Amino acid sequence: MHLDRVVPLLKEYPRRPVRLAASRSHTALASFVSLIGTIQWGRSDHPFNGASLDYMTDPNISAYRFGAVIEQIESGAIPRNQIYNVFYKDLVADVNGTIADIYRYFGFELTEEGRKAMDHYMIENPRDSRPPHRFNFGSEDVVARARKALQPYQDYFNIPNE
pLDDT score at 88: 81
pLDDT score at 155: 92
90 and 79 in contact (C-beta within 8 Å)?
no
Q: Which of 158, 11, 157, 17 lies closest to 81 in space, CA to CA?
A: 17
Q: Nearest-5° angle of CA 29, CA 32, CA 33?
A: 90
Query: Which is more confident, 19 or 162?
Result: 162
Indicate the pTM of the whole model: 0.69
pLDDT digits (tens, 9 = 90+) for 25-71: 556 556 655 666 666 656 667 666 666 666 777 888 888 988 998 99
pLDDT digits (tens, 9 = 90+) for 86-135: 888 888 889 899 999 999 998 889 999 999 999 999 899 887 887 877 77
The CA distance from 139 to 137, in Å, is 7
User: Which runs of E-coded beta strand occur in the chain?
Assistant: 18-19, 83-84
For the CA atoms of 101, 105, 107, 113, what is the dihedral angle to 10 degrees? -10
Q: Which of 126, 80, 118, 74 lies closest to 96 in space, CA to CA?
A: 118
pLDDT digits (tens, 9 = 90+) for 2-28: 667 778 877 777 665 555 544 455 565
The CA distance from 17 to 57, in Å, is 28
Handedness of CA 12, 159, 30, 133 (dihedral sign): negative
pLDDT band at 152 (very low <50, low <70, confident <90, very high): very high
pLDDT score at 15: 61
pLDDT score at 87: 85
pLDDT score at 36: 61
Q: Nearest-5° angle of CA 6, CA 53, CA 25?
A: 50
